[in-house]
Amino acid sequence: MRFLRLSGANPIWEEEKMIIGHKIFGKGPEKVIVLHGWLADYSVFEPMFPALDTEKFTYAFIDYRGYGLSKEIAGKHTMEEIGQDALGLADHLGWSRFHVIGHSMGGKAVQWLAAKATDRVKSGIAVTPAPACEVPLEPEALPIFENAADIPKNRGMIIMQSSGNRHSEAWERWMIERSLATTTRDAFADYFIAWSKEDFVSMVNGVRTPLKVLAGEYDPHLTAEVMQQTILQWFPNAGLEVLRNAGHYPMIEIPINLATICDNFMWSHR
């Protein structure tokens, strides 16, 4: 959007900066940007809210273009766009330095930010993250993912299978409803390409930002072994922890434990 600013006798056209949709939670001195995954918006983190330390931290939960609070914002739906929108929000909030937490696709964005804004990111936490390389999918699984934008039951299959097929059908229905309510069809389809196909390993390789990588015990795809073969190879200051009794959605499955792990790690790198 353009707007007119008067400077003396001379009118000047300027571009109004778009600020990505977000929710601020907390009032602490340490600033945190939180990035959600592919299936739904920031609301998947809400089970963690009672356990987050709002006296030590201020959290900014972002919704990507086409999702949740940003559903009406057009975009290209790429990893770089997610990262640049996060940096734009940090600038808007006056945050010169901050921590970053990201889940799944958001964990891939954490790696992008750690490399692109090394001087600004104090620490990163990648929760069951997609690595910064292309993520191969089994031939039988690929159509399920590719068609999930148009077939709701595919979203449920992905959710259940990625959490070890351990949870109730009621939870599956709730997650499908949340996904459909908080995403646009085109953004959802585009972001699948972003997290599964984009490769920026050359950019992240050797980045020394402190990084905590969290793998779910019951996540069949983004396993501890995958993390060791990818992210831990690229980031010399990365450490791995396996989350017990969790699959791909620890913010819902073990919210108190995850909140405690995240807060403790960020506080140690303040």
12 pLDDT band, cuts 50/70/90, is low
**One-letter amino acid of 56:** K
Segments in the chain forming alpha helices (H):
79-93, 105-116, 142-146, 152-162, 169-182, 185-197, 201-204, 224-229, 231-234, 250-253, 255-267
195, pLDDT greater than 90: yes
Packed helices 185-197 and 105-116: angle between N→C axes, nearest 10 degrees: 60
Distance CA 154, CA 199 (A): 25
7, pLDDT greater than 90: no
The pLDDT of residue 17? 77
Domain boundaries, the chain: 20-267
1 pLDDT band, cuts 50/70/90, is very low
Instruction: Write out pLDDT tens, residues 196-237.
Output: 999 999 999 999 999 999 999 999 999 999 999 999 999 999
The pLDDT of residue 15? 52
Helix (H) or strand (E) holding 127: strand 121-127
Q: What is the mean pLDDT of residues 128-137?
A: 96
Distance CA 76, CA 238 (A): 30
**One-letter amino acid of 116:** K
149, pLDDT greater than 80: yes
Helices (H) and strands (E) in the chain, counts: 11, 9
CATH superfamily membership of 20-267: Alpha/Beta hydrolase fold, catalytic domain (3.40.50.1820)
Distance CA 253, CA 163 (A): 9
How far does Cα 192 stand from its chain's mean position? 13
**pTM over the 0.75 mark:** yes
Burial class (CB in 10 A: 0-12, 13-18, 19+), 20: buried
Distance CA 245, CA 49 (A): 20
